[in-house]
Structure 1
Amino acid sequence: MASKTHIFLAGATGYVGGSVLQRLLSHPKRDTFEITALVRNVDKAKVLNTLGVKTVIASLFDYDKVAELAANSNVVLNIADSDSVEAVKAILRGLKLRHDKTGEVPIFIHTSGTGVFMDDAAGLHDTDVVYADTNAKQIEGLPVTALHRPVDLEVVTGDKEGYVRTYIVLPPTIYGIGTGKFYDLGISNPHSIQIPLAIRKSLDRGQGGVIGEGKNIWPHVELNELTEFYILLIDATLSDPSTAHGREGYYIIENGEYRLYDIAKEYSRALYDLGKGKSPDPTPFTPDEVQKYFGGPWLGSNSRVNSERSRKLGWKPTKTIKDFLESIRPEVEAIVAGK
């Protein structure tokens, strides 16, 4: 009997992590996987146990425990936190220990985000600058102060030192309400971050809002298509060690672009139709609201990218901006209903 592939996943109760774990449980090679999830909630851990997932009650910030779990794993998936340098150092410490003891070069798939490419447009303009995941030199030119960048650099350094193969996934704005057993059972969060946050804050102010003029541009991807990429990458890394990693192992995810105003117009219209907005057209968040609700105008930034490497791996998304726009009203309805 072939040995098991031990997979350690951080982020099982999150929006993306829950979707990936759910998909792993239906993977054709599921019987060859032994999956351990890091979970803080005891009740959720018990439910995961009934579904065939081993759980450890801890957080990503229990560094010694995280290092121990990494040391016992062939594959580590971090879909929990993109900005904790210490947590990633703990994962890498554990993976190095595994390498030193066994000679194996384990796999570390880390989740970053296209927020690393953000500018300070504040919704007032777009940009012609586009980042490609096949252009390592361009990515290496990013300042260390960029969002997610300090962690990304730690990950790449681990690969450079030779004890681990690292892969960095950079999702953009993700849309679509999470569906399936994990979401039905309340294990995982069914909502994304960026647009649902704007919807909730618009609901709080009683009017759909937008940062600045909403002229900024971001990439987008549907949740299930993003999940399929993670599975594709896991399969590729397990079957072919030459799959681009380390310095070349950035995998940007996108299937089109949107302007913030166009999305804001959709949720503003939905809020208005539900009696939760004064106008069907978005109005600018005031400077005070921008600070109160978002801590700054990052939602009005530009982040333009090209997922060349991800597509070369065989990823074939089909959802378009039309699907994104059509997803907004159900998202608003769910949030207004408190779901």
Structure 2
Amino acid sequence: MASKTPIFLTGATGYIGGAVLARLLNHPNASTFAITALVRNAEKAKVLESKFGVKAVVGNHEEFDKVESLVENAHVVFNLAEADNVPFIKAVLSGLRKRHAKHGDLPILIHTSGTGLLADDARGEYATDVIYDDLNVEQYKAIPDTALHRNVDLLVINADVEGYARTYIVPPSTIYGIAKHSLVDAGVSNPHSIQIPTIIEACLARKQAGVVGKGKGIWPDVHIDDIADLYIVLYDAIVANPEKVGHGWEGIFFGENGEHSWYQISKAIGEAMVALGISTDPEPTSFTTEEMVKYFGSEQWGWYCSSNSRCRGNRPRALGWKPKYTTEDMLKSIPAEVEEILKKPPRQPPFWPGIPTEKH
């Protein structure tokens, strides 16, 4: 009997990670996978093992020796949880290096970044004409080292350049949609995104739709089912013919299927609030500086929610990725997101989760 492919996955209890793991569990070759997941919650770990046959190791991303060991024992690593944690990614890469040295194989790392990498400082004043194409390697190389997610992405790419791993980076755009799959049903995985719900919570807290600046900045968007499918299309292509799939500097796969302005999101939230009787005017008003600090944690993260980040995911499409959902679907999904948030007790601001600034 052939040995199973050892897969290590982070983020199993999260939004992206849960959706990808659900697809791996339903994959035509699922019986040939030996999947290990690192999770913080012991109860969820039990469910993953008993109901889904996933080896669940209880721990966190600050347990670097544990992370390194788990990675070393895997031929394929899906990092679906950390885009900005430098010490964590160094532990992952150390595990890949040790595996390569010990076994001589080229382990695979599929890493999650984000199109925040491309964000400018438009502050809602204009829509940029700059559009990044993931087939344009020189354009991607020219992104400043100070860009969001860049410090981690460069470490990942360097592992490929040094030759001890094959690395692939998926930068999703604005992910939307309430995830529906077996891990959500079992109470293991989070069904909600961050970006749009954060803006919804801020609008609900002030009882009036809000927008940062004029909201003219443009971002791409992608449905949770489509982005999860991208990871599977990428994995299948790597396994089928690794030499035909770009990696390292040529292994960037933008996840997008349409574009929206920040104003469009805020207006859709405003219309939903009027329909629910929360507000009388659907027209968004600009968040004040004080509101940006209150709801987003800082003025910086407020302005981030008015930036431009435009890109085209041509590389995943060339592998056969066929996203189904469009920006129109994203805007139509907002009322359900508003209603879902209203079912829960209101959270205390700030609502934006914040991102580590560790650069070393």
Q: Same fold (TM over 0.5)?
A: yes
- Residue 13, structure 1, aligned to residue 23, structure 2: no
Query: Displacement, 1:237?
Result: 1.4
| Contact in 2 for aligned 1:206/1:278 (Cα 8 Å) | no
Please report how far the alpha carbon of residue 277 of structure 1 lies from its aligned counterpart in structure 2 after TM superposition: 2.7
Task: Quote the offset at 1:45 in angstroms.
Answer: 0.7
CA–CA distance in structure 2, aligned partners of residues 28 and 334 of structure 1: 33
Alpha-carbon distance in 1 for matches of 2:139, 2:240: 29
Number of paired residues? Answer: 339
Q: Superposed, which structure 2 residues align to 1:52-63 within 5 Å?
A: 52-63=53-64
* 1:214 alignment partner in structure 2: 215
Q: Partner letter of residue 282 of structure 1?
A: P
- Distance (whole Å) between structure 2 residues aligned to residue 72 and residue 240 of structure 1: 23
What is the TM-score normalised by the length of structure 1? 0.98
Corresponding position of 2:106:
105
Separation in 2, partners of 1:239, 1:75: 14
Q: What CA deviation, in whole Å up to 9, does each residue of 1:48-101 have, x standing for no partner?
A: 111111111111221111000000001001010100111111011001101101
**Aligned residue identity for 1:73:** A
RMSD: 1.1
Q: What residue is the counterpart of 2:255 in the other structure? A: 253
> Aligned residue for 1:25?
25
* Gaps in structure 2 of 5+ consecutive residues: 346-360
Taking the aligned partners of 1:219 and 1:170, their CA distance within structure 2 comes to 11
Q: 1:45-84 residue pairs with structure 2 within 5 A?
A: 45-50=45-50, 51-84=52-85
Q: Identify the match of residue 324 of structure 1 among 318, 327, 330.
A: 330
**1:284 aligned onto 2:286:** yes
Which runs of 5 or more structure 1 residues have no equivalent in the other structure? none
3-state SS of paired residue (1:250):
coil
- For residue 33 of structure 2, what is the amino acid of its counterpart? F
Q: Which residue of 2 aligns with 1:272?
A: 274
Aligned residue number for residue 309 of structure 1: 315
Cα distance in 2 between the residues matched to 1:66 and 1:237: 24
TM-score, scaled to structure 2: 0.92
* Equivalent-residue separation in structure 2 for 1:130 and 1:338 (angstroms): 38
Cα distance in 2 between the residues matched to 1:70 and 1:277 = 50
- One-letter amino acid of the structure 2 residue matched with residue 183 of structure 1: V
Distance 1:310 1:180 in 2: 23
User: 2: distance between equivalents of 1:282 and 1:270?
Assistant: 12
- Aligned residue for 1:140? 141
- CA distance in structure 1 between the partners assigned to 2:280 and 2:65 by the alignment: 52
Structure 1 stretches of 4+ with a deviation exceeding 3 A read none
Q: Which moved more, 1:105-114 or 1:306-315?
A: 306-315
Instruction: Pick the aligned partner of 1:298 from 293, 304, 309.
Output: 304
Taking the aligned partners of 2:241 and 2:107, their CA distance within structure 1 comes to: 13
Q: Which residue of 1 aligns with 2:246?
A: 244
Cα displacement (A) at 1:278:
4.4
How far apart, in 2, do the equivalents of 1:155 and 1:306 lie? Answer: 21
- Identity of aligned pairs, percent? 53
Q: CA deviation at 1:318?
A: 2.2
